[in-house]
């Protein structure tokens, strides 16, 4: 004999559970997705912006420009100065070339030898120098080429080939080893009315950047 059919009340309860529970679970998942989706989107935006983000400077551009070190301007070589009797150490163009130069005496006017006579209206002037090698390189040069006489009017005079009775010339050139010295006179021919003011001297026949300058009056 077949079992009696279930009651409608029990069948309705079973159908309600069979349909309602899956819907409830599905609704819960959807809720979870809806809750998690905004949070996940915000995190992606932050991470995506990080590699390409341009971080603002902690200082304004004006302050950054001020902090950049100013380029140093090269200093121009200024003449070293002394008076008669004073020594100036000069550097040459060659590595290790360094000479101590001293103006030891000024003869004005100087007396020319038999065949050394100034032109009419001019006179001879002799300036005695002592050159001492204070460097490592050998000095080999013509001292007369590196000398220049300047008068009170700013006129400058190159050396003369005249010889005088008040001193021995360098003879055109000099070779001075380390620690050695040479003494000689350099002769100039100037107008009778010229007043001696300065002597300038440089190594390498006057082509070296550094110049020594002696006040003569």
**Do 122 and 38 fall into the same domain?**
no
Mean of the per-residue pLDDT values of the chain? 78
Residue 57 maps to a domain: no
**Do 91 and 32 fall into the same domain?**
no
Residues 6+ apart with CB under 8 A from 178: 133, 135, 136, 137, 138
| Overall number of domains in the chain | 2
**Do 34 and 96 fall into the same domain?**
no
**Do 180 and 107 fall into the same domain?**
yes
pLDDT at 148: 98
Q: Which domain holds residue 21?
A: 8-48
| Sign (positive or negative) of CA dihedral 133, 139, 144, 145 | negative
Residue 61 maps to a domain: no
Segment 54-73 mean pLDDT: 50
Residues 6+ apart with CB under 8 A from 158: 147, 148, 149, 188
Residue 90 maps to a domain: yes
User: Is the entire prediction scored with pTM above 0.85?
Assistant: no
Q: Which CATH number does the domain housing residue 134 bear? A: 2.60.40.1240
**Do 34 and 98 fall into the same domain?**
no
pLDDT at 51: 45
The whole-angstrom separation of Cα 30 and Cα 109 is 118
pLDDT tens digits for range 173-191: 999 999 999 999 999 999 9
The whole-angstrom separation of Cα 166 and Cα 183 is 13
pLDDT tens digits for range 2-28: 555 544 445 444 444 455 544 444 444
Sorting pLDDT into bands at 50, 70 and 90, what band is 46?
very low
**Do 101 and 186 fall into the same domain?**
yes
């Amino acid at each position: 004999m077949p079992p009696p059919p279930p009651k409608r009340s029990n069948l309705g309860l079973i159908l309600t559970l069979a349909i309602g529970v899956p819907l409830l679970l599905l609704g819960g998942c959807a809720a979870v997705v809806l809750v998690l989706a905004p949070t996940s989107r915000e995190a992606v935006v932050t991470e995506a912006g990080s590699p390409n983000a341009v971080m603002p400077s902690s200082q304004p551009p004006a302050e950054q420009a001020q902090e950049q070190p100013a380029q140093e301007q090269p200093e121009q070589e200024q003449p070293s100065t002394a008076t008669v009797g004073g020594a100036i150490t000069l550097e040459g163009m060659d590595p290790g070339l360094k000479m101590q130069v001293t103006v030891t005496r000024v003869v004005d006017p100087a007396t020319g030898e038999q065949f050394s006579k100034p032109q009419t209206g001019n006179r001879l002037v002799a300036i005695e120098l002592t050159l001492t090698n204070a460097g490592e390189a050998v000095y080999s040069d013509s001292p007369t080429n590196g000398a220049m006489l300047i008068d009170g009017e700013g006129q400058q005079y190159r050396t003369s080939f005249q010889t005088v009775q008040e001193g021995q010339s360098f003879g055109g050139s000099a070779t001075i080893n380390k620690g050695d010295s040479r003494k000689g006179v350099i002769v100039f021919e100037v107008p009778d009315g010229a007043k001696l003011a300065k002597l300038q001297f440089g190594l390498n026949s006057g082509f070296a950047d550094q110049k020594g300058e002696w006040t003569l009056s």
